[in-house]
Chain A
């Protein structure tokens, strides 16, 4: 499949605007795309784009706040979010909570800020709370747009996203048969961050029809928040590694299953709450370890690269235990911390190379 068929984020935004649609800039990690789309709002995700003037964010945030948050704020201050009518910030971690509050209380950008609190458990009360929270968001969006989508319209939007997510899941499962390089695969699946469900589904269906030579290489799992700078994926390829599955917040942790409830808000809530384990949603270390071990078993991965954003507490706390559990199962792992603004330092490439070599031997 020619990766050039994936439209650029800017062109997608231009297209939405030309059609009179509203753009929402959405920060990591979990939210309901369907809820936005039911209001004709198109989510474009903002995962702290690299190559921004970080001093702009630095005027409001201390240096010990992660680069995702720094970059998101810098991007906003550069005026790059002027195309967005609103900013949705799911409550992912203390740092994004802080950013939301600074935006709402101090910076007050032109766009309306909508926070979404995600509960930290998977209990019935967490589902009920998230249902209420999504309903409150519905009310805010109604005030904002003057629209009142019906339950049927909500369900249509949900099913559209579910279809797209099923195709995303299939892409993840078939990745080794599609003949895509590491970087091309992630360009494709990450386009879900800004393409509409319909557009992404078409792209995914096309991609799934193409079969290529099974990508060889030393099979590894990638865990962490996101694969940035993306060049890191090329480094893995060059060092003869192949990412066969992932536990990345922007990808594998968002392989949401279709819901079952006929009540739209409950269905949206359940999809998020029962998604693959994620420390930011409060899954236990045991659940995460079990999930990773299973993932390694199914994908044939020999090891795991924990590719972490510096200062990311949700990730850092689980690491020692996770790595021990993996070790007990004979799975090697490595921990690499990055600031997404830095070009991939030589040292990181060397460490990845040494890790892959070790797995190979």
Chain B
């Protein structure tokens, strides 16, 4: 790695950038400001932790900006086993999280359009389109993304990521590690586990080569422990949604989940979630709910609709409805028990073959049923996500079964997680209106 790049990194990240972000956060904590358009009549003020979330994410992208040449850089799919890369000192970037950020900031139409102009179909995943558009044009709302030295695609969320990463591998001409995780229709077979473990073992030498150093297993174990701690804390956090009124809605969870996706295996992630948990417990003690007048409680299935988070939170909040749990945010917590630092590779293999998206539709249905009971829910919104087939196929039957078994309303809401062009404002508004009526019946 280059001396100039390292000097630049230390100066811009350590000496100036991070202290500035720290100062900015402290200011925000000392003098909390509520965004001017915040609907204080229906929603409680934003969580205090928001300032820290902002600091963490900004730090992450700031580091990314100066990482090239100083640290090896890997681009990884969101469900990828990152612990090995973390232990080798990689700066890890998740294009899906970047895609989500582009969604929140309203940059998807422009970026995706660039990919479409280059021939990519509007029928492929909008995260992929956004990322490819950003790569081809060099544009991003975060200023700059570091070029990868290594790519890692894990099929435990979808096969789409493999096709997507093949495009990236061709563009950047860097090695692509594939961790193929056989789909779990009924139970995890031994040969599937062995297959994943073998691929992990083989990935180590490629990663070592790119990183220019050897993997220290003690360090790997430490990182797995930190990953596990953060995941357990996240699990605790989302379980607080059981409380009535819920101190955190899933819209808040969507925002604060970035560190568990992007920064697993880091100490600051563990501190961050411990702090968030403390704040939620304080709010529970004060009887403060995310929605001021919580009357009804819902489940959200599938990815968020990033560009309409605020609208949905406010619309539902207006009717005293709090979305208190979601299969999506739960996915980042439910695997904590499988992580075991004493058996690093075995446990990574088992953990990363088991996400909800790598399991059958019954598993998701059972998860939803459990949530309906444990969180005492009054209804379910299933976001039928046009560009995420693995998460969406099965929802029609899942909805029917939830209605049959619990007699609660369940709405299938057609949209797309990132592309607002697949979202019909009026249609969604009228479907939500009838759904809200049904909740009150």
Contact = CB atoms under 8 A, between A and B. Distances in A.
Query: Are chains A and B native binding partners rather than an unrelated pairing?
Result: yes
B97 interface: no
A323 B119 contact: yes
B191 A101 contact: no
A234 interface: no
B389 A101 contact: no
B166 interface: yes
A286 interface: yes
Contacts of A104: 185-186, 360, 362
Contact of A107 (B124, B397, B398): B397
A186 interface: no
| Residue in A102, A319, A337 with the greatest tally of chain B CB atoms within 10 Å | A102
Interface residues of A, number: 52
Nearest to B164: A317
A40 interface: no
Interface in B121-140: 121, 123-125, 128
A98 B391 CA distance: 9
Contacts of A318: 163, 166-167
B118 A320 contact: yes
Nearest to B389: A94
B183 A115 contact: yes
A178 B257 CA distance: 62
B393 A95 contact: yes
A120 B180 contact: yes
Contact of A313 (B163, B392, B393): B163
A330 interface: no
Contacts of A335: 119
Contacts of B124: 313, 316-317
Contacts of A61: 393, 396
Interface stretch (A24-32, A122-130, A169-177, A199-207): A122-130
Interface stretch (A146-154, A159-167, A277-285): A277-285
A320 B119 contact: yes
Contacts of A311: 123
A133 B182 CA distance: 10
Contact of A317 (B163, B393, B395, B397): B163
Contact of B180 (A105, A107, A126): A126
A18 interface: no
A48 interface: no
A99 interface: yes
Contact of B198 (A59, A125, A133): A125
A94 B192 contact: no
Interface string A83-105: 00000000101110111111011
B155 interface: yes
B178 interface: yes
A129 B360 CA distance: 20
Nearest to A113: B185
B326 interface: no
B189 A136 contact: yes
A316 B159 contact: no
Contacts of A317: 120, 124, 128, 160, 163-164, 166-167
B170 A285 contact: yes
Nearest to A287: B166
Contacts of A208: none
A121 interface: yes
Contacts of A59: 396
Contacts of B263: none
Interface string A306-331: 00001101101111110100000000
B158 A94 contact: yes
A237 to B, nearest CB: 28
Interface in A3-51: none
A43 to B, nearest CB: 20
B181 to A, nearest CB: 10
A63 B120 CA distance: 20
A106 interface: yes
Contact of B185 (A62, A115, A123, A282): A115
Contact of B195 (A99, A115, A129): A129
A102 to B, nearest CB: 5
Contact of A97 (B128, B362, B384, B390): B390
A253 to B, nearest CB: 16
A282 B178 CA distance: 9
B49 to A, nearest CB: 35
B199 interface: yes
A309 B389 CA distance: 15
B361 A313 contact: no
Nearest to B387: A64
B205 interface: no
Contacts of B396: 59-62
Given A94-B160, A317-B124, A128 B195 contact: yes
B320 interface: no
B385 to A, nearest CB: 9
Contact of B394 (A102, A121, A123, A323): A102
B309 interface: no
Nearest to B392: A62
A219 B393 CA distance: 40
B394 A98 contact: yes
A318 to B, nearest CB: 7
Contact of A62 (B164, B167, B395): B395
Nearest to A129: B195
A289 B390 CA distance: 28
Contact of A125 (B128, B186, B195, B386): B195
B295 to A, nearest CB: 31
Query: Residue among B185, B194, B414 with the most chain A CB within 10 A?
Result: B185
Interface string B162-174: 1110110110000
Interface of A: 59-62, 64-65, 91, 93-95, 97-102, 104-107, 115, 117, 119-121, 123, 125-126, 128-129, 132-133, 136, 279-280, 282, 284-286, 310-311, 313-314, 316-321, 323, 335, 337
29 contacts: A62-B396, A64-B386, A64-B389, A64-B392, A65-B393, A98-B390, A100-B185, A102-B397, A104-B360, A105-B360, A107-B397, A119-B195, A125-B202, A129-B195, A132-B191, A136-B191, A279-B163, A284-B169, A285-B167, A286-B170, A313-B124, A313-B125, A314-B159, A314-B163, A317-B128, A317-B164, A319-B120, A319-B121, A335-B119
Interface of B: 118-121, 123-125, 128, 155, 158-160, 162-164, 166-167, 169-170, 178, 180, 182-183, 185-186, 189, 191-192, 194-195, 198-199, 202, 360-362, 365, 384, 386-387, 389-390, 392-398, 401, 414
7 tightest Cβ-Cβ pairs between the two chains A and B: A98-B393, A320-B119, A317-B163, A132-B191, A105-B362, A106-B397, A129-B195
Given A100-B185, A105-B394, A119-B182, 6 more contacts: A62-B386, A101-B360, A120-B180, A133-B182, A313-B125, A318-B163
